[in-house]
């Protein structure tokens, strides 16, 4: 097992030695009560060892710079390196979050312009950048819905979510103090309109939906859904995690949505996964605007920028400071470097790539053992069912996923959405070449072919990764997040 950097530490060893202080030491500058009595416990290590340590660690994890990462619903697309250069500029990277607005005009301008761009993309006029994850954007949306209804003098108890919804949707609804009511899925993969009609009443605060949904299909009845929801006095919430399929082509605001969250770290690029910083801004319609989180980044009449705290109906703050600023810089760079046409082209290519890979996987063994769950033209992702594969070869979707690692591919999302038996959810993204997509389809075919001869091969996979098969249930329920010293 790789030693921790502390285990590699040797007393007195240094990577860097600061020059002697050549100005008089001001003992009064920092009062005693703020001084440590003991020096901090830091690893003592040479520079080459530090470089080797972190380089080795970085190669142990599968990442999008290492290979194809078709993790459905997560949009693991290439993160252009230009964004890293821009985000690393001293004026952005070294800006203190408590800097007075008058001294942080450039950062506020970037945030304001990002708000404007996101508003245009969603087709909704007002944006708050504050939420720091898609799920926190959802929470903001539920709290905004509550504030909106309360301001109308109405108390509603339920929020509807389709049975295809991402797990964070019902979890957020519960956190927001509402009761979750599930709406079924029709044969074409869209919302079951009859079920919706039966459930949407004046006790419903909102319907949370993503379009395309998590089956990767666009709900053609969205206008009717919007009318049903609005006629009942409820809000329509858009889970923007799937915006990568439609940005620049269709706008949730035009479909009738009142509140939208974006996953900047997915659609608008940012290294994510493994808990990297994210951003889940929200966009809202006029009627929801008074309740947006406080403060808002605003542009004054004289062209300068400020933070507006004077928002009496606001739901309040969702976090300290304004959000993960580095994510804003990267997303801003992404939007400006692609432009409106480039964003539309990215969506089109994401959809084309998904349909190409879906068609490739419909050929040969995969077509029989791993059929597509809802066989329609898909958007940026599609869902396969490993039910026949399990029945005929004894291979679970998890086994296939693990064996893909040996072929150099990150597995697609497995066992989600829940309504598909042995689900495998594939999102190739627009940044992959035809060659990568073909190689992935060939690998699936080869795994199925070898499983016909020897199913045990996949069942014991992976063989080539730094760790073999893990006890995932135990790791989730009883995570050990500190490596014991000496192990």
Ligand X SMILES: Cc1ncc(COP(=O)(O)O)c(C=O)c1O
Q: Which residues would be at the binding site for ligand X (CB under 6 A)?
A: 73, 133-135, 166, 168, 210, 214, 239, 241, 263, 278, 280
The distance of closest approach from Cβ of residue 73 to ligand X in the complex, given in angstroms and rounded to an integer, is 3
In the bound state with ligand X, the residue whose beta carbon lies nearer, of 234 and 260, is 260
Nearer to ligand X, 134 or 295 (CB): 134
Pick the closer one to ligand X by CB: 365 or 380. Answer: 380
Nearest distance, CB of residue 419 and ligand X, angstroms: 14
The token pair at 486 is 């000496």
Instruction: Classify 103 in phi/psi space as left (phi over 0), alpha (psi -120 to 50) or beta.
Output: alpha
Tell me the closest approach of the beta carbon of residue 185 to ligand X, in angstroms.
15
Nearest residue (CB) to ligand X, 128 versus 369: 128
Specify the 3-state DSSP secondary structure of 189.
coil
In the bound complex, what is the minimum distance in angstroms from residue 337's beta carbon to ligand X?
23
Task: Please return the burial class of 27, using the count of CB atoms within 10 Å of its CB with bins 0-12, 13-18 and 19+.
Answer: exposed
CB of 339 to ligand X, least distance (A): 25
Nearer to ligand X, 73 or 385 (CB): 73
Cβ(373)–Cβ(34) below 8 Å: no
Q: Which residues contact residue 416 at a Cβ distance below 8 angstroms, ignoring those fewer than 6 apart?
A: 72, 73, 166, 167, 214, 423, 425
Residue 235 CB, shortest distance to ligand X, in Å, is 17
The DSSP H or E segment spanning 309 is none
Q: Which is nearer to ligand X, 162 or 248 (CB)?
A: 162
Question: Cα separation of 161 and 156, whole Å?
Answer: 15
Which helix (H) or strand (E) segment holds residue 414: the answer is: strand 413-414
Chain residue at closest Cβ approach to ligand X: 134
The answer to whether the CB of 437 falls within 8 A of the CB of 428 is yes
User: What angle, rounded to 10 degrees, do the helices at 168-175 and 134-151 form?
Assistant: 40
């Amino acid at each position: 097992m790789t030693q921790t950097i502390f285990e590699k530490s040797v007393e007195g060893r240094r990577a860097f030695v600061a020059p002697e202080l050549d100005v008089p030491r001001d003992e009064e500058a920092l009062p005693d009560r703020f001084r440590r009595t003991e020096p901090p416990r830091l690893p003592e290590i040479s520079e080459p060892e530090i470089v080797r340590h972190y380089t080795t660690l970085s190669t142990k994890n599968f990442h999008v710079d290492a290979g194809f990462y078709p993790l459905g619903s997560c949009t693991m697309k290439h993160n252009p390196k230009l964004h890293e250069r821009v985000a690393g500029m001293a004026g952005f990277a070294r800006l203190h979050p408590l800097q007075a607005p008058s001294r942080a005009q450039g950062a506020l301008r970037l945030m304001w312009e990002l708000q404007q761009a996101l508003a245009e993309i969603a087709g909704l006029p007002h944006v708050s950048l504050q939420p720091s994850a898609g799920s926190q954007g959802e929470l903001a949306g539920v709290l905004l819905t509550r504030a909106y209804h309360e301001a109308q003098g109405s108390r509603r108890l339920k929020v509807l979510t389709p049975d295809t919804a991402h797990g964070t949707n019902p979890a957020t609804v519960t956190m927001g103090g509402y009761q979750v009511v599930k709406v079924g899925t029709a044969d074409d993969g869209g919302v079951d309109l009859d079920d919706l009609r039966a459930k949407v009443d004046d006790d419903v605060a909102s319907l949370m939906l993503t379009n395309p949904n998590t089956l990767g299909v666009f709900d053609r009845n969205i206008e009717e859904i919007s009318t049903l929801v609005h006629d009942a006095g409820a809000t329509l919430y858009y889970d923007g995690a799937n915006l990568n399929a439609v940005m620049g082509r269709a706008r949730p605001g035009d479909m009738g949505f009142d509140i939208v969250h974006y996953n900047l770290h997915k659609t608008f690029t940012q290294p994510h996964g493994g808990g990297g910083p994210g951003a889940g801004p929200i966009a809202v319609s006029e009627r929801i605007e008074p309740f947006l989180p406080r403060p808002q980044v605003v542009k004054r009449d004289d062209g300068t920028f400020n933070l507006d705290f004077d928002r009496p109906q606001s739901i309040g703050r969702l976090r300290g400071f304004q959000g993960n600023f580095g994510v804003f810089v990267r997303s801003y760079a992404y939007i400006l470097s692609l432009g409106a046409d480039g964003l539309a082209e990215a969506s089109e290519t994401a959809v084309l790539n998904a349909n190409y890979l879906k068609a490739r996987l419909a050929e040969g063994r995969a077509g029989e053992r791993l059929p597509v769950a809802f066989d329609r033209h898909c958007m940026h992702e599609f869902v396969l069912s490993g039910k026949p594969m399990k029945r005929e070869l004894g291979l679970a979707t998890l086994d296939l996923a693990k064996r893909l690692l040996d072929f150099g591919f990150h597995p697609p999302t497995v066992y989600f959405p829940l309504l598909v038996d042995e689900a495998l959810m594939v999102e190739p993204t627009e940044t992959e070449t035809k060659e990568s997509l073909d190689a992935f389809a060939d690998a699936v075919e080869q795994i199925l072919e070898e499983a016909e001869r020897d199913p045990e091969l996949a069942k014991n996979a992976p063989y080539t990764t730094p760790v073999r098969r893990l006890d995932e249930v135990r790791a989730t329920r009883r995570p050990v997040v500190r490596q014991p010293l000496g192990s």
